[in-house]
């Protein structure tokens, strides 16, 4: 790990992801979490102050980056809910099948090396009827902006910890077996268009899922083997 990745990048990302427009999205979304919560890509713990202790029993926060883990641990100690930080990736999620009520993922799906496998893992650990709460930037709808995203993305990924600009967030979520029940889209104010088109909403695990948790686990394994 380079000095930039270890010491500088976590601060750059934490500052960028605490911008007022992003914090406003967190403030609206995170309090909707209920029960046992899994947060994918906890980062420096910017969501922690927004969990409702009257609704949340515990939060498992995944974060593989050592620099981010140190920041997350400090925020976890002051959080209004119980938090257990896990040093692992979303792609290698170790929690048991159907063990959480809510999965929260905010402004980090862009950095997953293998987003389909990560979302299959989230789908596996959610109980039937559980919810995925998401707020992510991704592919812009205009061709002109999308072409700029494609052009800038290779450099952007190197500068910002593997962040992709062009991911189709709704398609990724649906292909992982979720049903999107609500979604709001649009550009964040005062953000560059290449990185400011945001998808926020909620998706559910179907109550009657004929595949079952075992089938979802097999699908995740198959996705991982293809990469």
Domain of residue 30, CATH code? 3.40.50.150
Residue 22 lies in domain: 3-225
- Percent of the chain past pLDDT 90, that is, above it, reads 76
| Number of alpha helices (DSSP H) and beta strands (DSSP E) in the chain | 8, 7
Closest CA to 164 of 188, 137, 187, 145: 137
Res 14: pLDDT: 85
Torsion of CA 171, 222, 104, 72, to 10 degrees: -130
- Does position 52 have pLDDT exceeding 80, yes or no? yes
pLDDT band, very low/low/confident/very high, at 2 (cuts 50, 70, 90): low
209, two tokens: 């899922």
Angle between helices 212-225 and 115-125 (to 10 degrees): 160
172, two tokens: 């990724």
pLDDT tens digits along 5-31 = 766 877 888 888 889 999 999 999 999
Q: How far apart are CA 100 and CA 80, in angstroms?
A: 19
196, two tokens: 């400011």
- Does position 219 have pLDDT exceeding 60, yes or no? no
According to DSSP, residue 53 is labeled T
Number of domains in the chain: 1
pLDDT tens digits along 114-141 = 999 999 999 999 999 999 999 999 999 9
């Amino acid at each position: 790990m380079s000095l930039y990745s270890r010491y500088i990048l976590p601060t750059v990302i934490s500052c960028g992801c605490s911008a007022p427009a992003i914090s406003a999205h967190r403030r609206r979304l995170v309090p909707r979490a209920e029960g046992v919560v899994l947060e994918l890509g906890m980062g420096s713990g910017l969501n922690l102050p927004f969990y409702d202790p009257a609704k949340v029993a515990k939060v498992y926060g995944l974060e593989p980056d050592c620099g981010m883990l140190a920041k997350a641990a400090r925020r976890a100690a002051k959080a209004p809910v119980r938090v257990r930080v896990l040093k692992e990736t979303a792609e290698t999620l170790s929690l048991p099948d159907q063990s959480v009520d809510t999965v929260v993922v905010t402004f980090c799906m862009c950095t997953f090396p293998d987003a389909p496998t990560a979302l299959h893992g989230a789908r596996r650990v959610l109980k039937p009827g559980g919810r995925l709460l998401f707020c992510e930037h991704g592919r812009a709808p205009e061709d002109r902006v999308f072409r700029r995203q494609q052009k800038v993305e290779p450099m952007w990924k190197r500068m910002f910890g593997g962040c992709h600009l062009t991911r189709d967030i709704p398609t990724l979520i649906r292909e992982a077996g979720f049903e999107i029940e609500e979604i709001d889209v649009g550009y964040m104010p005062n953000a560059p268009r290449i990185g400011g088109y945001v998808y926020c909403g909620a998706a559910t695990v179907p109550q009657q899922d004929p595949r079952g948790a075992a089938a979802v686990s097999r699908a995740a394994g198959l996705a991982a083997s293809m990469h």
